[in-house]
């Protein structure tokens, strides 16, 4: 029985390949292309849904409070224009750290910038902070390899020692093909060095991330005039600190870990709904497309089915051949669609970071390839009952 099945599968695969290259290449290629388009869109929309769960606020287990600009209030002179940012952040950070209940604090500036070597250049999420011995992890990366106290910013001016310190997440190091000690450029500046690669990085969505000195990132992004950053992260064990932090900037919000967790939960629900909707829509459209195109293919192929019947090949065996051909076709379409979807994610992020945002809006992961192929095979399996009924009606062969 197993040998018979293997023989039918082998014949079905060869028959599909032959039809795709010689006898019915236009119809087969059109069917595969249809599945590929559906799966590519599914992968892209799903990645966008996952990206919605990635908050622009830097989240980490060692952070208790976030000070962020209040975007719903009238703009304050203390908040920079463009995307809302705080000004005079080095001075303000010193004031926050002087609070007796504050264990650690740092302003944070994040930008998507081109990083790389002579051979490889990619866009990476670059996060600038002021490292201190009390600070542990920011944006999922360990900050200890950075020189403490942001030495390039000295005595209120950007004339101190340039360190070029860079801590990369594992995904960023793999993307750029670099390791600890390698020179690296950031936004065209070649004075940076990979200080460390954090193998334990926990960046959200596995987004390639780099941690650098705040003042050095400010110099690259033109944020030195007003000493700007987007938010502050504060570590403390005292809940009474929140009211004091609220007074740092007039138009700001201080969010606790619980508030951020609730916000992330809402975002996760939204991303789950978007991903589920994409799955159901893709499944429905893919099923209708495969049933229609493959059904027309079976009708056009009725002469060959009649010949197989005349040769004594049973209708049951013919139906198995039709099933194998359908699964192979949807599987190939799923593979092409999943790979195309990853390319689409990359293009979507590039377009977004150059036009409407400073961060990637979609998350890319190799698991999306397996997801796309699985959905394509599911489409093929669900379409089999309809196609087998059509094949049996046009066959009229040996039972």
Domain boundaries defined on the chain: 2-54+265-395, 74-250
The pTM of the full predicted model, rounded to 2 decimals, is 0.55
Token pair, residue 259, equals 């508030």
Give 107-152 pLDDT, tens digit per residue.
999 998 999 998 889 999 999 999 999 998 888 899 999 999 999 9
Q: For every residue of the chain, which 3-state class applies, written as one string?
A: CHHHHHHHHHHHHHHHHHHHHHHCHHHHHHHHHHHHHHHHHHHHHHHHHHHHCCCCCCCCCCCCEEEEECCCCCCCCCEECCCCEECCHHHHHHHHHCCCCEEEEEEEEEEEEEEECCCCEEEEEEEEECCCCCCCEECCEECCCCCCCCCCCECCECCCCCCCEEEEEHHHHHHHCCCCCCEEEECCEEEEEEEEEECCCCCHHHCCEEEEEHHHHHHHHCCCCCCCECEEEEEECCCCHHHHHHCCCCCEEEEEHHHHHHHHHHHHHHHHHHHHHHHHHHHHHHHHHHHHHHHHHHHHCHHHHHHHHHCCCEHHHHHHHHHHHHHHHHHHHHHHHHHHHHHHHHHHHHHHHHHCCCCCCCCCCCHHHHHHHHHHHHHHHHHHHHHHHHHHHHHCCEC
pLDDT over threshold 60, residue 24: no
Q: pLDDT at position 10, please?
A: 66
Looking at the chain, the whole-number percentage of residues with pLDDT higher than 90 is 39
pLDDT over threshold 70, residue 250: yes
Give the pLDDT mean for 362-385.
Answer: 90
Give 342-372 pLDDT, tens digit per residue.
999 999 888 877 776 556 778 888 899 999 9
More confident residue, 133 or 261: 133
Give the pLDDT mean for 102-107.
Answer: 93
Q: pLDDT at position 77, please?
A: 32
More confident residue, 55 or 395: 395
Q: pLDDT at position 312, please?
A: 59
- 262 band by pLDDT with thresholds 50, 70 and 90: very low
Given the structure tokens 């209040």, which residue do they identify? 70
The mean predicted confidence, pLDDT, of the chain is 80
Q: How far apart are CA 173 and CA 153, in angstroms?
A: 27
Give 290-347 pLDDT, tens digit per residue.
888 777 777 766 666 666 666 656 667 667 777 788 888 889 899 999 999 999 999 9
pLDDT over threshold 50, residue 172: yes
pLDDT over threshold 80, residue 104: yes
């Amino acid at each position: 029985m197993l040998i018979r099945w293997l023989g039918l599968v082998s014949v079905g695969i060869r028959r599909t390949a032959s039809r795709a290259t010689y006898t019915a290449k236009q119809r087969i290629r059109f069917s595969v292309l249809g599945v590929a388009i559906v799966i590519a869109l599914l992968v892209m929309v799903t990645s966008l849904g996952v990206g919605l769960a990635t908050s622009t606020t830097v989240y980490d287990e060692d952070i208790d409070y976030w000070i962020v600009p209040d975007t719903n209030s009238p703009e304050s002179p203390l908040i920079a224009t463009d995307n809302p940012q705080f000004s005079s952040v080095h001075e303000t950070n010193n004031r926050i750290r002087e609070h007796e209940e504050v264990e650690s604090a740092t302003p944070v500036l994040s930008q998507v910038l081109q990083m790389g070597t002579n051979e490889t250049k990619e866009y990476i999420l670059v996060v600038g902070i002021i490292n201190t011995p009390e600070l542990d992890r920011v944006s999922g990366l360990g900050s200890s390899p950075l020189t403490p106290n942001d030495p390039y910013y000295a005595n209120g001016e950007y004339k101190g020692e340039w360190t070029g310190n860079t801590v990369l997440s594992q995904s960023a190091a793999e993307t750029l093909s670099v390791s600890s000690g390698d020179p690296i450029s950031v936004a065209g500046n070649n004075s940076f060095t990979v200080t460390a690669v954090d193998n334990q990085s926990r960046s959200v969505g596995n987004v390639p991330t780099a941690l650098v000195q705040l003042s050095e990132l400010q110099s690259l992004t033109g944020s030195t005039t007003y000493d700007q950053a987007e938010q502050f992260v504060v570590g403390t064990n005292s809940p009474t600190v929140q009211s004091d932090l609220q007074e740092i900037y007039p138009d700001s919000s201080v969010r606790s870990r619980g508030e951020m967790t609730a916000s992330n939960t809402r975002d996760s629900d939204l991303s789950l709904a978007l991903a589920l909707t994409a799955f159901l829509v893709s499944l429905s459209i893919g099923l209708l497309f495969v049933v229609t195109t493959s059904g027309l293919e079976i009708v056009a192929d009725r002469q060959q089915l009649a010949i197989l019947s005349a040769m004594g090949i049973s209708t049951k065996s013919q139906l198995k051949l039709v099933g194998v051909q359908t699964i192979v076709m949807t599987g190939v379409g799923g593979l092409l669609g999943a790979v195309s979807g990853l390319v689409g994610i990359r293009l979507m992020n590039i377009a977004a970071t150059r036009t409407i945002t400073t961060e990637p809006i979609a998350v890319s992961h190799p698991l999306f390839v397996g997801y796309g192929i699985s959905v394509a095979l599911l489409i093929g399996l669900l379409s089999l009952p309809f196609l087998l009924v059509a094949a049996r009606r046009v066959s009229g062969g040996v039972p």
